[in-house]
Amino acid sequence: MMDVNEIRQYLPHRYPLLLVDRVVELVEGESIVAYKNVSINEEVFNGHFPDFPVFPGVMILEALAQASGILGFKTVDKKPKDGSIYLFAGIDDVRFKRQVIPGDRLQLESRIISSKRGIWKFACKATVDGELVAAATILCADRKV
């Protein structure tokens, strides 16, 4: 549904921190399904860990937040170029269930729980090949830049 060129219109992130490669499903006001292809060429593997590459949990959470940000922006028909940005406001109920390694396709799913006064709450989960990797409730704040 959205390739990386369109994704870049809805996220201010750029290399090496753009963590959404494609959006495959998006229902405005409801949910998004996107993915990130994890490659051994990721800069993060130079230090995490060179002899046992594991994609960091914090990067998985960031990828989920970016997918959530796309959903939020599309829902209200805004883009970062309009002077708005989504910032982390909180993360609750985080659980990691499986490691993510090079070669994995990380599926990112986010569903809107609520939106009040620019604070968005999302139910998120990440999977690889249908197996749960991580789940969290993410809060994002829509702020002017």
pLDDT of residue 49: 95
| Contact (Cβ atoms closer than 8 angstroms) between residue 79 and residue 73 | yes
Q: Is the full-model pTM beyond 0.85?
A: yes
The amino acid that residue 100 corresponds to is: V
pLDDT of residue 33: 99
pLDDT of residue 26: 98
pLDDT of residue 30: 98
pLDDT of residue 53: 98
Closest CA to 34 of 44, 26, 43: 26
* Phi and psi at residue 47, to the nearest 5°: -125, -10
Residues known to be catalytic: 48
Residues in the chain with pLDDT values less than 50: none
With b meaning 16 or more CB within 10 Å and e meaning fewer, what string describes 17-50? ebbbbbbeebeeeebbbbbbebeeebebbeeeee
pLDDT of residue 90: 96
pLDDT of residue 54: 98
Residue the block writes with tokens 């830049």: 145
pLDDT of residue 52: 97
Strand order in 105-116's β-sheet?
22-27, 31-37, 105-116, 119-128, 131-144, 84-96
Residue the block writes with tokens 């399904």: 33
pLDDT of residue 126: 99
